[in-house]
Amino acid sequence: MHMRELTKYLASGNHPNLNILDVCSQEEFAAGHIPGAIHWPLTAMNVGKFPNNKLETYYVVCRSGGRSKLAVAQLKKEGYMAVNVEGGMLAYCGPLAY
Protein backbone atom coordinates (compact mmCIF):
# COMPACT_ATOMS: atom_id res chain seq x y z
CA MET A 1 0.00 0.00 0.00
CA HIS A 2 1.29 3.47 -0.78
CA MET A 3 0.98 6.37 1.65
CA ARG A 4 -1.32 8.15 -0.86
CA GLU A 5 -3.86 5.34 -0.43
CA LEU A 6 -3.59 5.39 3.36
CA THR A 7 -3.91 9.19 3.44
CA LYS A 8 -7.11 9.02 1.35
CA TYR A 9 -8.49 6.31 3.60
CA LEU A 10 -7.71 8.33 6.73
CA ALA A 11 -9.32 11.43 5.21
CA SER A 12 -12.51 9.46 4.48
CA GLY A 13 -13.21 9.02 8.19
CA ASN A 14 -14.01 5.32 7.73
CA HIS A 15 -11.29 4.03 10.01
CA PRO A 16 -12.53 3.72 13.61
CA ASN A 17 -9.98 1.07 14.61
CA LEU A 18 -7.17 1.40 12.07
CA ASN A 19 -3.84 0.24 13.54
CA ILE A 20 -0.97 2.41 12.35
CA LEU A 21 2.40 1.30 13.66
CA ASP A 22 5.12 3.96 13.39
CA VAL A 23 8.64 2.51 13.54
CA CYS A 24 10.41 5.88 13.25
CA SER A 25 13.04 7.00 15.74
CA GLN A 26 11.91 8.96 18.80
CA GLU A 27 13.13 12.19 17.19
CA GLU A 28 11.28 11.53 13.92
CA PHE A 29 8.09 10.57 15.77
CA ALA A 30 8.26 13.72 17.92
CA ALA A 31 8.68 15.86 14.78
CA GLY A 32 5.21 14.78 13.62
CA HIS A 33 3.29 11.55 13.17
CA ILE A 34 -0.10 10.31 12.03
CA PRO A 35 -2.64 10.96 14.80
CA GLY A 36 -3.34 7.79 16.76
CA ALA A 37 -0.25 5.96 15.51
CA ILE A 38 1.38 3.44 17.85
CA HIS A 39 5.06 4.30 18.26
CA TRP A 40 7.29 1.21 18.24
CA PRO A 41 10.79 2.23 17.03
CA LEU A 42 12.42 -0.39 14.85
CA THR A 43 15.66 -0.07 16.81
CA ALA A 44 13.78 -1.12 19.94
CA MET A 45 11.48 -3.58 18.21
CA ASN A 46 11.37 -6.92 19.90
CA VAL A 47 8.52 -8.54 18.02
CA GLY A 48 8.15 -11.23 20.68
CA LYS A 49 7.16 -8.48 23.11
CA PHE A 50 4.83 -6.64 20.72
CA PRO A 51 1.76 -6.18 22.94
CA ASN A 52 -0.93 -6.24 20.31
CA ASN A 53 -3.38 -8.68 18.78
CA LYS A 54 -2.22 -11.00 15.99
CA LEU A 55 -5.74 -11.02 14.55
CA GLU A 56 -5.62 -7.34 13.60
CA THR A 57 -3.86 -5.74 10.64
CA TYR A 58 -1.08 -3.22 11.26
CA TYR A 59 -0.17 -0.55 8.70
CA VAL A 60 3.52 0.07 9.29
CA VAL A 61 5.10 3.46 8.53
CA CYS A 62 8.52 5.03 8.89
CA ARG A 63 10.15 8.09 7.40
CA SER A 64 10.53 6.78 3.84
CA GLY A 65 9.46 3.11 3.74
CA GLY A 66 12.69 1.19 4.28
CA ARG A 67 12.50 0.47 8.00
CA SER A 68 8.79 -0.25 7.77
CA LYS A 69 9.54 -2.91 5.16
CA LEU A 70 11.97 -4.59 7.60
CA ALA A 71 9.45 -4.30 10.45
CA VAL A 72 6.70 -5.87 8.33
CA ALA A 73 8.96 -8.82 7.54
CA GLN A 74 9.67 -9.31 11.27
CA LEU A 75 6.01 -9.00 12.22
CA LYS A 76 4.85 -11.43 9.53
CA LYS A 77 7.50 -13.93 10.63
CA GLU A 78 5.91 -13.85 14.10
CA GLY A 79 2.39 -14.32 12.72
CA TYR A 80 1.13 -10.73 12.68
CA MET A 81 -0.84 -9.29 9.77
CA ALA A 82 1.20 -6.30 8.65
CA VAL A 83 1.25 -4.04 5.60
CA ASN A 84 4.18 -1.86 4.57
CA VAL A 85 3.13 1.71 3.79
CA GLU A 86 5.42 2.67 0.91
CA GLY A 87 6.66 6.24 0.72
CA GLY A 88 6.47 6.67 4.48
CA MET A 89 5.94 9.95 6.25
CA LEU A 90 7.73 11.80 3.44
CA ALA A 91 4.67 11.02 1.28
CA TYR A 92 2.09 11.80 3.99
CA CYS A 93 0.14 15.03 3.52
CA GLY A 94 -2.53 14.70 6.23
CA PRO A 95 -2.75 16.25 9.69
CA LEU A 96 0.06 15.58 12.16
CA ALA A 97 0.15 14.94 15.88
CA TYR A 98 3.12 15.88 18.07
Catalytic residues: 62
Contact at 8 Å (CB) between 58 and 85? no
Q: What is the DSSP string of 26-69?
A: HHHHHT-B-TTPEE--GGG--GGG--S-TTSEEEEE-SSSHHHH
Alpha-carbon distance 29 to 47, whole Å?
19
Give the phi and the psi of residue 48 in degrees, each rounded to 5.
Answer: -60, -20
